[in-house]
Amino acid sequence: MSDEEDKSVDQEDDDWAAALEEQEKAESATESSSEEDDWAAAMEEQAAVDGEPAEDDWAAAMAEQGDADAISEDDIQSAPLEYLEDDAPAFDGDNPNLEVIMDIPVTIAMEVGHTEIAIRNLLQLNQGSVIELDRLAGEPLDVKVNGTLIAHGEVVMVNEKFGIRLTDVVSPSERIKRLR
């Protein structure tokens, strides 16, 4: 670089340094002003915009609050309310109305058995792997509705499809108790 270019760069650096110094002075002056000054300035500005002193607004609000406290019970009027009637049928805890739920779809599952295995062993499973279950061969399957046991049964073939013949059904009252 030539001497002229060096002087130009030095001049730019000095300009930047001076600008940064001015900015720091302005920021420190702003930070040194207290919050009260900010509030006072804001209140004065608001009063100038509204055309009246802010203290009058506070005085009016306080006077209004005092007037509200002076209301007597004679000044209070009751509002008319409609009488509500209960049109719903009475709930009988012993005989619930089950008609309202008869068309709700549920999921039925037949459980052959279950077991727990480590994820490492699960990831090693492939075609032909055998998993040992907790049931013996020939034991009845569990029939579950939405995860709740309702019966036991055995596997049968119906028109080339699997089915289940129920061998032991949980009583309706017991099923309702299990739902609760």
Full domain range(s) for residue 24? 3-70
Instruction: Give the pLDDT confidence score for residue 88 in this predicted structure.
Output: 65
- Residue 56 sits in the same domain as residue 125: no
Q: Is residue 91 part of a domain?
A: no
- Residue 118 sits in the same domain as residue 66: no
Per-position DSSP letters for 67-118, written without gaps between them: HHHT--GGG--PPP-PPP---SPPP-SSS--GGGGTT----EEEE-------
Q: Is residue 24 part of a domain?
A: yes
Return the bridge partners of 148, or none: 145
Q: What is the CATH number for 144?
A: 2.30.330.10
Under 8 Å CB-to-CB from 53, ≥6 apart: which residues?
47
Q: What is the reported pTM?
A: 0.40
**Which residue, of 70, 94, 124, is where some domain finishes?**
70
Instruction: Give the pLDDT confidence score for residue 119 in this predicted structure.
Output: 94
Instruction: Give the pLDDT confidence score for residue 4 in this predicted structure.
Output: 58
Number of structural domains the chain divides into? 2
**pLDDT under 70: residue ranges of the chain:** 1-12, 26-36, 47-55, 66-73, 86-96, 179-180
Instruction: Give the pLDDT confidence score for residue 91 in this predicted structure.
Output: 61
